[in-house]
Amino acid sequence: MTPDLITIGRSSIDLYSQDVGRPLPEVRSIGAYLGGSPLNIAVGASRLGVKAALVTAVGDDQPGDFILAGLRREGVNTSYIPRKPGTRTSAVILAVQPPDRFPITFYRDNAADIQLGIDDIQAVPVEEARALVVNGTALSREPSRSATLFACERARAAGVPVYLDLDFRANQWHDPRAFGLNIRALLPNVDVVIGTEEEINAAMLRDPADLTIRHSQMTAPEIRGDVAANTAALLSRVPTVVVKEGERGCTVHRAGEEPLGVPGFPVEVVSVLGAGDAFAAGLIAGRLRGWDWFRSARLGNACGAIVVTRIGCADFTPTGAEVDAFVGEKGGWECPG
């Protein structure tokens, strides 16, 4: 069955501390989950009723078995996931220290998903999908970079909307400025850019001194920059830029229109990891349903808010029924007040 949504990029086995509040040296209990931004989005969308496929690569190893089995349980199409002999499936280790520390370590040396190549993309029915999602980390090395460019080029030629999740992970780049250079090179074939305020700044980063990472929080760097100006710079190249703003919700910027602020849902944070991917899954699922930008972003905000109350990413994204119940309790789909 042809998927409505195709996501392309990294995947991993995520090893999350179950001892909330303790630093990693004191952790004695760890849970294993599915992870990686494109994987999380595929699972999140699948739980919301979208026919989704993930295009990644795994090694001929047990973590690869874990990922494939987990995706199949979630109803995500795995037909386009090759095994790459001689490589390793990625892994992530995370300590959970709310409210504001989530130190993370990526194990991506010889990562299988970076070996995803043009021939692998050739086998994917990109033109038959209703949306394509790619992510920034996939641009960090070859052959994944060319595979991503090829997929976006095919989608653009077929009129398939392309969503770019910026997914800035500074330690995956030889120079953080290379992230922005590659992102900007991809933009002519992108319809929607999704990123945090920090990622928006990273996409236009000029001085590495503006980047600071504390407490090994690779997923939450501090990046100095003018978010408004950098959003405008991106918007001059793509039709839509969606800025994720945490508990405040998000803002949808559309070329030639006033910014659309969409409020979030206040909740108590347990772990921020995976919230942005859940947001993207909800936003895209809403658009695939034919919803307008406000309601779609509201769905994204609800999915993100639910995930931050849990420990984990893909395994903890909500179903449609859970979202409906949550939004009902929080005042409904329309803007409160």
- The first and second tokens of residue 67, run together, are 């990922």
Take residue 91 and report the two structure tokens written for it: 């892994």
> pLDDT value at position 217?
60
Closest among 7, 11, 49, 72 to 318, alpha carbons compared? 49
Instruction: Classify domain 5-12+36-83+109-330 at the CATH superfamily level.
Output: Ribokinase (3.40.1190.20)
- Looking at residue 304, its amino acid is G
The tokens of 156 are what?
């653009």
Q: What is the full per-residue pLDDT of the chain (337 aa) written as tens digits?
A: 789 999 999 999 999 999 988 988 999 999 999 999 999 999 999 999 999 999 999 999 999 999 999 999 999 999 999 999 999 999 999 888 887 788 888 999 999 999 999 999 999 999 999 999 999 999 999 999 999 999 999 999 999 999 999 999 988 999 889 999 999 999 999 999 999 999 999 999 888 888 887 755 666 788 889 899 999 999 999 999 999 998 899 999 999 999 999 999 999 988 888 999 999 999 999 999 999 999 999 999 999 999 999 987 899 999 999 999 999 998 888 865 4
Angle 320-329/293-307 helices, nearest 10 degrees?
A: 90
DSSP conformational letter for 286: H
Say how far apart CA 46 and CA 193 lie, in whole Å: 21
* pLDDT score recorded for residue 219: 67
SS3 per-residue string spanning 43-64: HHHHHCCCCEEEECCECCCHHH
CA dihedral 232, 195, 164, 162 (to 10 degrees): -70
pLDDT, residue 337, reads: 43
Taking the C-alpha atoms of 228, 231, 235 and 236 in order, what is their torsion angle to the nearest 10 degrees?
A: 70
pLDDT of residue 331: 84
The strand order across the sheet containing 12-17 reads 30-35, 12-17, 90-94, 104-107
First-last CA distance in the chain = 43
Beta pairing class for 249-254 and 240-244? antiparallel
Task: Give the Cα separation of 197 and 189 in Å (integer).
Answer: 22
| DSSP-based three-state secondary structure for 273 | coil
- What are the extents of the domains in the chain? 5-12+36-83+109-330
